[in-house]
């Protein structure tokens, strides 16, 4: 949606604002006057008062005129087709409301469409993630995305070839690890058992002669040795049994009762091939390695999320490069560069939100209300240029008070890419508000 003209009747005076399809800068307006303008611009879309008329182009390219004459029925006309389309926008009481089809009211639309300096300081988690990723080395970032994606695809292919799934690889590997642990403990237990059996046997045999020849004192070391051998054997046996239990639990998770039965059950004999099993486990290990490297680069952000938002990340990188390479920022003041980059991301985030604000994805203009009032002067030119470029895809109305912005807009207006509205001597009072708007072009 784009505004074309806003007309406000106030007694014998009429205020007409012709708005540029891309960017309109209205300069020299105070805080109170900006409040009044925002109320009129947003209120004209709702079921506003009589005497406020509007011409606009909707998302389908249809030119509409909204007439709200005093003492007469309000109407909406399709200008191109010369057709009355009031019924599409009238509520149950017959009041014309262009926000209602989009599922919005004036209050919601005002809070969303108006963006001031304070609004640019807040952003959602999605926009914070995008900014975070935009600051990374993009070559490393996307190479890591490709590596993880490729490793996952290879794992899926190996699993599919076995009639299994990628998740089964983890189960298979856990079973293999438990089985290897069990075999290791079992082998050690057998060795210790044999050794301690012999040691305990010889010690027990020697107890009787020792007691006969040297008394009970001489037999005590042999008794202790035999007991220690028995305890050692029991400990090793318990370790083996514990490993057996862990293997059994892993097999039970896979729905099998034995290691051999697991191989037969999972892949109908194919998995019993060491070569086939090795390929699947290697693919699983490669995927884990890729995910470990990814976590070093991007932390806990999911690879799938990054892939889905690549367009936003690329745009954020361009914004960052534009701001840092604009020539307006002193290279020695890194904190200024970061501040400008943060504001730039917030601007694009707000524009993005308004591109699909309505229930059917309708696009609405954004009204920047002196957004850089608290921003240092040296940062503003780059940010204004960013807004001008963004207006190629979405209408922007910029309300400012300072003369420096007006000077920038005056020069840019010569190219026809924006229009500048500056105050003149004539004073018009906006109806139902204590606002004085100085008009003129």
Q: Is the pTM of this model over 0.75?
A: no
Q: How is the chain split into domains, by residue range?
A: 2-135+309-438, 141-298
Distance CA 408, CA 257 (A): 78
Task: Answer whether 412's CB lies under 8 Å from 388's CB.
Answer: yes
Task: Answer whether 55's CB lies under 8 Å from 63's CB.
Answer: yes
Q: With H, G, I as helix, E, B as strand and everything else as coil, classify residue 69.
A: coil
Note the pLDDT of residue 406: 83
If you ran DSSP here, which 8-state letter would residue 121 be given?
G
Note the pLDDT of residue 272: 44
Helix 310-324 / helix 125-134 crossing angle, nearest 10 deg: 60
Distance CA 111, CA 151 (A): 46
Note the pLDDT of residue 250: 59
**What tens digit of pLDDT does each residue of 228-287 get?**
766 777 777 777 677 767 666 655 655 555 555 555 455 444 444 556 667 777 888 888
Distance CA 433, CA 140 (A): 56
- Name the nearest CA neighbour of 79 among 171, 138, 5, 133: 5
Note the pLDDT of residue 203: 64
**What tens digit of pLDDT does each residue of 65-102 get?**
999 888 888 999 999 999 999 998 887 777 888 888 88
Kindly report the backbone phi and psi dihedral angles of residue 27, in degrees, each rounded to the nearest multiple of 5, phi listed first: -105, 165
Kindly report the backbone phi and psi dihedral angles of residue 136, in degrees, each rounded to the nearest multiple of 5, phi listed first: -80, 165
Q: What is the CATH number of domain 2-135+309-438?
A: 3.40.50
Low-confidence stretches of the chain (pLDDT beneath 70): 48, 121-126, 159-176, 178-179, 182, 186, 189, 192-220, 222-226, 229-230, 240, 244, 246-277, 323-339, 424-441
């Amino acid at each position: 949606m784009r505004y074309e003209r806003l007309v406000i009747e106030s007694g014998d005076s009429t205020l007409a604002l012709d708005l540029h399809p891309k960017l309109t800068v209205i300069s020299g307006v105070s805080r109170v006057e900006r409040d009044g303008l925002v109320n009129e611009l947003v209120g004209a879309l709702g079921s506003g008062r009589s005497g406020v008329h509007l011409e606009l182009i909707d998302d389908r390219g249809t030119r509409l005129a909204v007439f709200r004459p005093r003492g007469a029925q309000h109407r909406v006309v399709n200008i191109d087709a010369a057709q009355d389309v009031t019924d599409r926008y009238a509520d149950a009481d017959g009041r014309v409301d262009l926000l209602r089809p989009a599922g919005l009211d004036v209050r919601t639309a005002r809070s969303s469409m108006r963006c001031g300096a304070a609004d640019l300081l807040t952003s959602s988690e999605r926009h914070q993630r995008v900014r975070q990723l935009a600051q990374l080395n993009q070559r490393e970032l996307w190479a890591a995305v490709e590596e993880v994606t490729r490793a996952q695809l290879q794992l899926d292919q190996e699993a599919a070839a076995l009639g299994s799934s990628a998740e089964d690889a983890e189960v298979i590997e856990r079973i293999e690890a438990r089985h290897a642990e069990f075999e290791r403990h079992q082998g050690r237990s057998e060795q210790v058992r044999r050794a301690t059996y012999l040691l305990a046997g010889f010690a027990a045999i020697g107890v009787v002669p020792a007691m006969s020849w040297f008394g009970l004192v001489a037999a005590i070391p042999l008794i202790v040795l035999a007991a220690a051998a028995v305890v050692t054997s029991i400990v090793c046996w318990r370790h083996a049994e514990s490993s057996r239990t862990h293997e059994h639990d892993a097999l039970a998770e896979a729905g099998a009762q034995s290691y051999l039965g697991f191989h037969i059950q999972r892949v109908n004999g194919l998995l019993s091939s060491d070569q086939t099993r090795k390929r699947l486990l290697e693919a699983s290990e490669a995927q884990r390695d890729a995910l470990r490297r990814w976590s070093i680069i991007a932390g806990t952000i999911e690879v799938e999320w990054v892939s889905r938002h690549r367009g936003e990340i690329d745009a954020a990188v361009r914004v960052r490069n534009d701001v840092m390479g604009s020539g307006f920022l002193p290279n020695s003041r890194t904190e200024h560069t970061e501040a400008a980059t943060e504001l730039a991301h917030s601007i694009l985030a707000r524009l993005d939100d308004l591109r699909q604000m309505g229930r059917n994805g309708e696009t609405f203009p954004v009204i920047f209300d002196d957004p850089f009032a608290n921003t240092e002067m040296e940062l503003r030119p780059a940010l204004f240029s960013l807004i001008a470029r963004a207006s190629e895809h979405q209408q922007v109305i910029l309300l400012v008070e300072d003369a420096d912005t007006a000077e920038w807009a005056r020069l840019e207006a010569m190219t026809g890419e924006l229009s500048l509205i500056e105050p003149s001597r004539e004073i018009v009072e906006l109806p139902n508000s204590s606002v004085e708007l100085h008009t003129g072009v």
